[in-house]
């Protein structure tokens, strides 16, 4: 049964750029979906449209049976954890406080302003840090951690939100190969063990094929592939990235960026 549904979704920006064109998708609860596509394909726009940060120009998006619209953006976003390419941590704050920011949607604005959290939130944050194997770093400043560790803090922050969905926008693009694998293994574990739906924009085809349950590919805002990773063949890859030779294909596997 679908948990996230998109029907004939379009996104056109004021300058006339058509970022998404007639996208229809059904994504099940607990599914790990990788989104592939070259620069400008619409990958990031797709994520922002799902969580209402960049509302669709036309079409309908439903999450858990509720239509995503301006009347329920706050409620919808409370269910969705975000993971970013550049971590989006507050460097001067310690790790624990960064993770606790995942609880802000559940707190009064005054408590949020002064980073005041109840004891139960600290326990939720501690559990999230345990999940990503960083509890021992809880009181270290965020900027003292390695890139891989900072991204795991970002994952812990998303987990502290207790989401039903995690949207990850190029979560390993800034990491070395070893850290990238650690992060993707962790996301896969969270998906399987916690039943959290994960939609991740990736720029490494190999990683998408290794960790995702399903691959979606966009090209110029259109959906051109939606199937199991095992069905992603060279012809399809060539179509996604306009590849012309094996050398270009190798480069695309390693580094294909999105908007």
Q: Could you tell me the pLDDT band of residue 39, with boundaries at 50, 70 and 90?
A: confident
Q: What is the pLDDT of residues 189-237, one digit of tens each?
A: 999 999 999 999 998 899 999 999 999 999 999 999 999 999 999 898 8
Mean pLDDT confidence for 3-29: 96
Nearest to 198, CA basis, from 190, 210, 207: 190
The per-residue pLDDT for range 153-197, each reduced to its tens digit, is 999 999 999 999 999 999 999 999 999 999 999 999 999 999 999
Q: What are phi and psi of 18, to 5 degrees?
A: -95, 95
Q: What is the pLDDT of residues 49-90, one digit of tens each?
A: 999 999 999 999 999 999 999 899 888 988 999 999 999 999
What's the rounded Cα separation, in Å, for the pair 234 and 61?
32
- How does residue 151 score in pLDDT terms, banded at 50, 70 and 90? very high
Q: Report d(CA 58, CA 9) in Å as an integer.
A: 6
- The pLDDT-based confidence of 243 (bands split at 50, 70, 90) is low
**Inter-axis angle of helices 234-241 and 246-254, to 10 degrees?**
70
Enumerate the β-bridge partners of residue 66. Answer: 63
Q: Where are the domains of the chain?
A: 1-79+167-176+200-259, 86-162
Q: Which residues pair with 40 in a beta bridge?
A: none
CATH of region 1-79+167-176+200-259: 3.40.50.300
Quote the pLDDT of residue 257: 41
- At 248 the pLDDT is 44
């Amino acid at each position: 049964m679908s948990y996230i549904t998109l029907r004939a979704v379009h996104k056109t920006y004021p300058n006339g750029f058509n970022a998404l064109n007639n996208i229809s998708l059904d994504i099940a609860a607990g599914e790990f979906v990788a989104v592939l596509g070259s620069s400008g394909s619409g990958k990031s726009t797709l994520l922002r449209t799902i969580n209402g940060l960049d509302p669709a120009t036309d079409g309908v998006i439903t999450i858990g049976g509720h239509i995503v619209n301006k009347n329920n953006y706050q409620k919808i976003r409370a269910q969705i954890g975000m993971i970013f390419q550049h971590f989006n941590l507050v460097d001067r704050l310690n790790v624990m406080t960064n993770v606790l920011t995942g609880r802000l949607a559940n707190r009064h604005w005054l408590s949020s302003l002064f980073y005041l959290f109840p004891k139960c939130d600290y326990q939720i944050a501690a559990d999230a840090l345990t999940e990503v194997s960083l509890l021992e770093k809880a009181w270290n400043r965020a900027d003292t951690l390695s890139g891989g560790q900072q991204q795991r803090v970002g994952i812990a922050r998303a987990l502290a939100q207790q989401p039903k969905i995690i949207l990850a926008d190029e979560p390993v693009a800034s990491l070395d190969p070893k850290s990238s694998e650690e992060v993707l293994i962790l996301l896969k574990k969270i998906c399987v063990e916690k039943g959290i739906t994960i939609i991740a924009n990736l720029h490494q085809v190999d990683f998408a094929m290794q960790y995702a349950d399903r691959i979606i590919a966009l090209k110029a805002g259109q959906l051109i592939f939606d199937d199991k990773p095992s069905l992603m063949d060279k012809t399809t890859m060539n179509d996604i990235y306009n590849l012309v030779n094996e050398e270009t294909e190798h480069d695309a596997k390693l580094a294909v960026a999105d908007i």
